[in-house]
Amino acid sequence: MNPQDIKEILYTKEDLDETVSRMAAQINENYKGKKLVVVTILKGACIFMCDLVRKLDLDVEMDFMIVSSYGSQAKSSGVVRIVKDLDQDITGKDVLIVEDIIDTGLTLKYLVKNLKSRNPASVHVAALLLKDLGNQLQPKYLGKVCPNEFVVGYGLDYDERYRNLPYIGILDEKVYSQDQDAEE
């Protein structure tokens, strides 16, 4: 990876650790004595989830969903499709959806509605980032409000790249404008 692909580092490894610890403390407090089904939306939220669950002092079960919302382009397709569903029945269970970033909020809106229709005891959302647009679904547990830019790292990708960066940064536009030029 070319370090120049990242225009600006928004959150360092230390910032992220502090943010995840704060969110875990809130979750520990609110679900004290309860069992929790943590539903991770792959692939973007997987690194966040791994750090989050290791800070939870609860009885946690993990399940995973894959939904399609983004192709290789840095804008929302608006189409949400379940590619992989949960392995378990969540009837009567407390469910926490773990999401990496809320942009338009279309993905989560669809997922919350879908999971609520399965009669769980509760469904809440823990999102690491929320883009500063002002009108999306507000997660119960939120890490940071971030600028309305395309960001990568700590699980977040552009065309499957940059997920392994230990920090989150703004992707330089030249990376996706090069791809767009190549397509034309």
Among all residues, which ones are annotated catalytic? 103
Closest approach of ligand IMP to the CB of residue 25, in Å: 24
Nearer to ligand IMP, 31 or 154 (CB): 154
Closest approach of ligand IMP to the CB of residue 69, in Å: 5
Pull the structure tokens for residue 112. Answer: 């919350």
List, in sequence order, every beta strand (DSSP E) within 113-167: 122-131, 141-146, 151-152
User: Which parts of this chain interact with ligand IMP (CB under 6 A)?
Assistant: 44, 69-70, 76, 99-107, 150-152, 156
Nearer to ligand IMP, 33 or 78 (CB): 78
Pull the structure tokens for residue 3. Answer: 């370090």
Chain centroid to CA 60: 18
Positive or negative, the CA dihedral 89, 94, 99, 102 is positive
Closest approach of ligand IMP to the CB of residue 79, in Å: 9
